[in-house]
């Protein structure tokens, strides 16, 4: 296995190894910052949507603010390797020609799309050399829904190859670096999206999540990421038609912005058979309702199923204690998820085999070793292995649902470690425990995936060295609205700064 001392790996993890492609032939505008554009960069998405609706600003103003910010900041972190500003401006002009009432929930807000999802006419690589030059003719269903609600796509965010591995680097664009310390990982697989938000290169960014890919990067970059209930966000299906493992979801700088974006992303579509209709009450309305949970559980490690860094435990426990001081009943408890590791490994591998066996057959030499391992693990499964895991998963879901009859919300670390060095392909050990595979360290987020629960990562503090830590908040299946309301309340209690973006702290 390669390590950080390998010069070839060092080259791959160097942002200068990036091969950007703008998706159009126009050069970027090199505009200096003005006070007005800097104010826009620091504003929340909800505030900007209100101003768009009133005609105080236009979508073009927002694009004009973003472009120089990206030109200044992105070379230091490599979060948005593919830009499509000409396409975005064309879309903005078409939207501005419509009455305000027909411009959708987002009213022309710029949105970054993760490079796993196709955007028509824009380079869409999936972080893989296999698709390095792909420019699709059609967009993902999820992208269509966002654009129909007035979202304007201006960039694709970096991701590991096929979203595999919670460290954002690939052979096409190189690594995305953590803005709180550029020596560190941004996590993944929605690492580019999280870094863009944290550094003011995005107000709203879409991501996806199977093994924590919306939550781990949120934790590492001090922003908010939500894995919704499966089916909440319709998307183009690949592989297993009814899979509930991978979901699309929103990322933002604060909980209200997150809810706004989830409203725009939500809705059923006949092309996604498990997709759900929009709720009668918008998520943003529920978020602002002031409703709080009655009883909450906190667990440092979900019953010892995974090691957790002691500093992460201390910071997340302190956040839970702050909520208790604010009047919420908080008790140390956890559901019975003792067999989550086997279930997670088996069903995840099955998904890789179903969705990617053809790529292994035809492009093995272009796949990274971790992806090859995961596909081959899936192909080696027997029907008995899969049946055992699926049966055990159903039992786990039932136990978790029973747990939520007592508790409204479960708190635990969103990620078991603070950001680790970007040159390490994945976290290989934690608190004295050595991991056997590149996904072992993701079990604390894998539980919500297996249980079909909505879960988000909320910023809750910083380590002694100044690196962010996220608190995972898990709610019962279909409890997305109550989860957002709870997160909004806890956010106000903790008072963690999730609105003002930072400039990268470049360290060598």
229/477 Cα distance (integer angstroms): 6
User: What is the pairing mode between strands 409-413 and 468-474?
Assistant: antiparallel
44/248 Cα distance (integer angstroms): 22
Query: What's the DSSP call for residue 44?
Result: -
**Ordered per-residue pLDDT tens for the chain, 508 residues:** 233 333 223 333 444 333 334 443 333 333 445 667 889 999 999 999 999 999 999 999 999 999 999 999 999 999 999 999 999 999 999 999 999 999 999 999 999 999 999 999 999 999 999 999 999 999 999 999 999 999 999 999 999 999 999 999 999 999 999 999 999 999 999 999 999 999 999 999 999 999 999 999 999 999 999 999 999 999 999 878 888 999 999 999 999 999 999 999 999 999 999 999 999 999 999 999 999 999 999 999 999 999 999 999 999 999 999 999 999 999 999 999 999 999 999 999 999 999 999 999 999 999 999 999 999 999 999 999 999 999 999 999 999 999 999 999 999 999 999 999 999 999 999 999 999 999 999 999 999 999 999 999 999 999 999 999 999 999 999 999 999 999 999 999 999 865 579 999 999 8
Sheet containing 247-252, strands listed edge to edge, beginning at the edge strand earlier in sequence: 82-83, 152-157, 110-114, 204-209, 247-252, 224-227, 455-462, 468-474, 409-413, 295-298, 329-332
Which pLDDT does position 73 carry in this prediction? 98
Which pLDDT does position 33 carry in this prediction? 52
Structure tokens given for 135: 């420019």
Which pLDDT does position 241 carry in this prediction? 81
Nearest to 121 by CA among 173, 157, 156, 80: 156
Q: Tell me the CATH number of domain 30-494, given options 3.90.1300.10, 3.40.50.720, 1.10.10.60, 3.40.630.30.
A: 3.90.1300.10
- Provide Rg for the chain, Cα atoms: 21
Which pLDDT does position 5 carry in this prediction? 32
Which pLDDT does position 497 carry in this prediction? 63
Which pLDDT does position 498 carry in this prediction? 58
Give, for 332, the enclosing helix (H) or strand (E).
strand 329-332
Whether the full predicted model's pTM is greater than 0.95, yes or no, is: no
Which residues, 6 or more positions from 333, have their beta carbon under 8 angstroms from its beta carbon?
A: 297, 298, 299, 403, 406, 407
Query: What's the DSSP call for residue 427?
Result: -
Please state, in angstroms and as integers, the Cα–Cα distance from residue 148 to each residue in 91, 123, 145, 265, 282, following that order: 11, 21, 5, 10, 17
CA atoms within 13 A on the CB side of 388: 11
Please state, in angstroms and as integers, the Cα–Cα distance from residue 160 to each residue in 115, 144, 167, 175, 448, following that order: 9, 23, 7, 8, 22
Q: Is the dihedral of CA 101, 103, 107, 113 positive or negative?
A: positive
């Amino acid at each position: 296995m390669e390590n950080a001392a390998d010069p070839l790996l060092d080259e791959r993890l160097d942002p200068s190894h990036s091969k950007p492609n703008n998706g159009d032939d126009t050069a970027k505008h090199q505009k200096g910052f003005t006070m007005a554009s800097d104010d826009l960069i620091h504003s929340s998405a909800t505030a900007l949507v209100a101003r768009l609706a009133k005609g105080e600003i236009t979508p073009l103003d927002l694009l004009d603010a973003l472009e120089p910010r990206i030109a200044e900041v992105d070379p230091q972190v490599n979060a948005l390797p593919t830009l499509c500003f000409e396409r975005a401006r064309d879309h903005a002009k078409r939207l501005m020609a419509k009455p305000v009432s027909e411009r959708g929930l987002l009213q022309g807000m710029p949105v970054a799309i993760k490079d796993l999802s196709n955007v028509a006419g824009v380079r869409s690589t999936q972080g893989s050399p296999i698709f390095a030059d792909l420019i699709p003719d059609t967009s993902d269903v999820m992208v269509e829904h966002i654009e129909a609600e007035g979202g304007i796509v201006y960039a694709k965010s970096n991701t590991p190859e096929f979203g595999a591995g919670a460290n954002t680097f690939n052979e096409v664009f190189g690594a995305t670096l953590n803005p709180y310390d550029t020596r560190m990982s941004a996590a993944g697989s929605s690492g580019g999206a999280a870094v863009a938000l944290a550094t003011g290169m995005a107000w709203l960014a879409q991501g996806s999540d199977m093994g924590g890919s919306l939550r781990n990067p949120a934790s590492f970059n001090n922003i908010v990421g939500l894995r919704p209930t499966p089916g909440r966000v319709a998307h183009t299906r690949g592989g297993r038609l009814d899979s509930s493992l991978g979901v699309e979801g929103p990322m933002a700088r604060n909980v209200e912005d997150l809810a706004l974006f989830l409203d725009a992303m939500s809705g059923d579509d006949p092309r996604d058979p498990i997709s759900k209709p929009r709720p009668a009450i918008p998520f943003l309305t529920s978020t602002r309702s002031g409703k709080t949970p009655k009883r909450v559980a906190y667990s440092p490690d979900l019953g010892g199923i995974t090691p957790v860094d002691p500093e992460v435990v201390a910071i997340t426990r302190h956040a839970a204690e702050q909520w208790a001081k604010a009047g919420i009943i908080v008790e140390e408890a956890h559901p019975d998820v003792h067999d989550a590791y086997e279930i997670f490994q088996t069903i995840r591998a099955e998904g890789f085999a179903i969705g990617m066996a053809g790529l292994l057959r035809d492009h093995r030499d272009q796949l990274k070793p971790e992806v090859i391992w995961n596909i081959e693990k899936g192909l080696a499964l027997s029907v008995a292995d899969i049946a055992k895991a699926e049966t055990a998963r159903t039992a786990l879901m039932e136990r978790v649902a029973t747990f939520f009859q007592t508790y409204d919300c479960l708190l635990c670390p969103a990620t078991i470690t603070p950001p680790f060095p970007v040159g390490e392909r994945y976290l290989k050990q934690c608190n004295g425990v050595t991991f056997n595979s590149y996904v072992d360290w993701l079990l604390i987020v894998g539980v919500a995936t297996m249980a079909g629960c909505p879960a988000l990562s909320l910023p809750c503090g910083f380590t002694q060295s100044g690196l962010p830590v996220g608190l995972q908040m898990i709610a019962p299946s279909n409890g997305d609205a109550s989860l957002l309301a709870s997160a909004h309340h806890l956010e106000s209690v903790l008072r963690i700064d999730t609105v003002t973006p930072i400039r990268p702290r470049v360290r060598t």
